[in-house]
Amino acid sequence: MPGQPIPAPGVNVRQARRDDADAAAGLVFDAAAPAYTMLAGSEARARQIVAELWAKPGHSASFEHALVAEIGGSVVGVMIGFPERDRYRLHAALLRAALRRLSPRRWPLLLAALPPLVLATPRPPRGAYYVGTIAVAKNARWRGVGSTLGHHAELRAADLGFPQVVAHTGTRHAVARRALENYGLRMAKARRNGYALYVKEVAPRA
């Protein structure tokens, strides 16, 4: 929310852990629930797969690349980010891990969706820090959780020596686009009926 202090008072951010799966993986699922449900065949199975993947290292939906936000000791937000240069490698590892958990009958759905997804997604600068997911619990929205996670993504990018943070969102996702713009990201590229690339310069750490 414009004018709100960042980081927001009462919002604590820490490195994610495996045992955050119940809350944090649930938020990751909620961020793209229709797609996960379609691929898994049911919401229950999709939630189970996302939680299992969260606890495994080495891919783009793992706890090892995540920060969680807490209010009063409860997880209310999650951010997953990593260097852009690792994005395809980590996504490929996620694909391999997901295929092992999906029914073979559903593999064609996933594999058929990949080429259009790649074509619909503008490629970020290779020397940037990529924010793949920021998700906030419904009962914690408008409390600065997303902006605080974005702030910590910038801090992490600066610590790792990256000059920019970047993120994608759907070109038709007006709420997400407005949130990114309110936080200070600018749209760099967009694909009609696809995804928009947002970029923000990162101030070096003193």
Tell me the per-residue pLDDT of 82-123, one tens digit each, with 9 for 90 and over: 999 999 999 999 999 999 999 999 999 888 888 888 889 999
Let me know: does 91 contact 132? Beta carbons within 8 Å. no
Q: How confident is the model at residue 1 (pLDDT cuts 50, 70, 90)?
A: very low
Q: pLDDT, tens digit, for every residue of 111-161?
A: 888 888 888 999 999 999 999 999 999 999 889 999 999 999 999 999 999
Structure tokens at 176: 């997400």
Enter the pTM of the model: 0.92
Helix, strand, coil distribution of the chain in percent, nearest 5: 50, 25, 30
Domains (ranges, CATH) in the chain?
Answer: 12-201 (3.40.630.30)
Q: Tell me how far apart the alpha carbons of residues 98 and 40 are, in angstroms, rounded to a whole number.
A: 9
